[in-house]
Structure 1
Amino acid sequence: MAELRSKIWIEEHGAGLPEWQRTAFGEFAAMIAGPGSEYPCVPGHRGFVSNNLRYGFAPDPRTDRAVSDTAELLSAYGECARETGRYASLVIFYETPEDLTNTADVREYELLFWSLLNRLHDKDPAPWPGDIPQDPGTSTWEFCFAGEPYFAFCATPAHGRRRSRHFSSFLIAFQPRWIFDEINETTAFGRNISRMIREKLAAYDDVPVHASLKWYGQPDNQEWKQYFLRDDETSPSRCPFMAMKNKFQK
């Protein structure tokens, strides 16, 4: 059974975790809050140091078990997320075998990410929230599970130039939509956070800040384009989530 963990729990009991899980968490901690870390995600850094983040571990993301474990983790997380703090997020590390790490490129991981979200959606027992459009082409669409909308962030071993999307194993972070109630273009706090992130991204990555990074609800915004950023400045011509959903429903 997949279980939610906190930073404090892992620091106290991590010796009992499998080696790949200890390694993944240790590398994440060093990346986001280690000495000299310049990682651009300011809310992520604050969430880590304040123990707002929650963590989960899942097997090879290509497997059905990974989908089932992700569903379990998200279901449990949805019930407690609001109690964890203003910088809440669920970070899921996936065991990534060498055959995947050594051979998959960014585009293959992109397909894997969208396939996992699509299969996760198929396991969702709850109806799609009435206040979230079901068309990803709209500016206020967001991926939903168990009645909760989430921004989904993916990092992979194949990313190189876009260093902010690189991690040693396949990783997805689910950020509840409600954390952006204060982090948006209508608040001075949100505008300041956005400016800081963009400045850090420009310095951290070896490619320009992606043109798809926009505010939720902006007329030309499409959230799905921000979930998985390629190593270059391109984006898919249409949302893979909807394309897969329509394909499997035929």
Structure 2
Amino acid sequence: MTELFSADQIKHRFEQLPNWQQDAYLKFSNMIADDGNTYPCVPGRIGFLSGHLRFGFAHDPRSQEAARDIAHLLGQYGRISRDTGQYASLVIICDTPKELLEHTSVEQYQSLFWELLSRITAQDVSPWPEHISTEPNDSTWEFCFDGEPYFCFCATPAHKLRASRHFPYFMLAFQPRWVFESINDSTPLGRKMKTLIRKRLTDYDAVPAHPSLKWYGQEGNLEWKQYFLSDDEQTPSKCPFMRMKQAMHRWTK
């Protein structure tokens, strides 16, 4: 069964990790803690440098094993996330075979992401939190697992123009909703952070910030639109999560 790691635990056991996991972690640390301090997600950078992030590795994201890996990691993480620090986040890097690297477009990764999220949900035996809408087109909807709401982020090897969503491996990050209690549009820190992140995105990406980037609960905001951003400004007209979840339900009847 896949394990949950802190950065210190990875460093301590680094030589025991498979080669691809060593490579993936080094690439992640070099990206988020680059010497030029250019990475746009300031909370993510602070979280990494402060030891608040937790890490996990999963199988090929096309496989059912990946869904089980990630469900297991989320179950572990939900029980300890509040003890990891103010800028908590769970980073999961998937084994990404050469075939997937060389023959998968951003659009295909987008479909894979939503399919994987639906398969992860199928592993969840806990009831949906009462205070979170079950309808993705409601501004209070958020992906939930084991009773915990998360903001979900996906990066892929195919992203080029939107460098902030590029990573050499298929990668997911789950940020607990409670992290945003002090970082949102109603707090001075949140407004300052938003301005800084937008400026960094302008410098980091070759395209303007995606119009879907807004705060949770903000009027007109739909969280699912931010989970996977394409290289352009396109967004699916309907949330793929519910469509795939309903399809999976029909298949298993």
Structural mapping, 1:100-249, within 5 Å: 100-249=100-249
Q: Deviations over 1:65-114 (max 9, x none)?
A: 11001011000000000000000000000000000000000000000000
Aligned residue identity for 1:72: H
Q: Check conservation: 1:90, 1:173, Cα contact below 8 A.
A: yes
Q: Matched residue of 1:10: which SS? A: helix
Q: Post-superposition shift, 1:247? A: 2.4
Q: Check conservation: 1:149, 1:176, Cα contact below 8 A.
A: yes
Q: Check conservation: 1:40, 1:201, Cα contact below 8 A.
A: yes
Are positions 1:51 and 2:51 aligned together?
A: yes
Q: Deviations over 1:12-71 (max 9, x none)?
A: 211110000000000000000021241100000000000000000001000011100101
Structural mapping, 1:6-155, within 5 Å: 6-155=6-155
In the alignment of these two chains, the number of paired residues is 250
Identity %: 54
Q: Check conservation: 1:30, 1:37, Cα contact below 8 A.
A: no
The CA distance in 1 between the partners of 2:137 and 2:107, in whole Å, is 21
Q: Matched residue of 1:54: which SS? A: strand
Q: Check conservation: 1:31, 1:37, Cα contact below 8 A.
A: no
The CA distance in 1 between the partners of 2:129 and 2:156, in whole Å, is 29
TM-score (norm 1): 0.99
Q: Matched residue of 1:209: which SS? A: coil
Note the aligned Cα RMSD (angstroms).
0.7
Aligned residue identity for 1:228: F
The CA distance in 2 between the partners of 1:66 and 1:248, in whole Å, is 16
Aligned residue identity for 1:241: F
The CA distance in 2 between the partners of 1:148 and 1:248, in whole Å, is 22
Aligned residue identity for 2:33: A
Q: Post-superposition shift, 1:244? A: 1.0
The CA distance in 2 between the partners of 1:84 and 1:199, in whole Å, is 28
Q: Any unmatched runs of 5+ in structure 1?
A: none
Aligned residue identity for 1:56: G
Q: Post-superposition shift, 1:243? A: 1.2
The CA distance in 2 between the partners of 1:173 and 1:167, in whole Å, is 12
Q: Matched residue of 2:193: which SS? A: helix
Q: Matched residue of 2:13: which SS? A: helix
The CA distance in 2 between the partners of 1:103 and 1:25, in whole Å, is 23
Q: Post-superposition shift, 1:219? A: 1.7
Q: Post-superposition shift, 1:249? A: 3.0
TM-score (norm 2): 0.98
Which portions of structure 1, spanning 4 or more consecutive aligned residues, are displaced by more than 6 angstroms? none
The CA distance in 2 between the partners of 1:203 and 1:110, in whole Å, is 24
Q: Post-superposition shift, 1:248? A: 2.8
The CA distance in 1 between the partners of 2:26 and 2:248, in whole Å, is 38
The CA distance in 1 between the partners of 2:245 and 2:62, in whole Å, is 17
The CA distance in 2 between the partners of 1:14 and 1:247, in whole Å, is 40
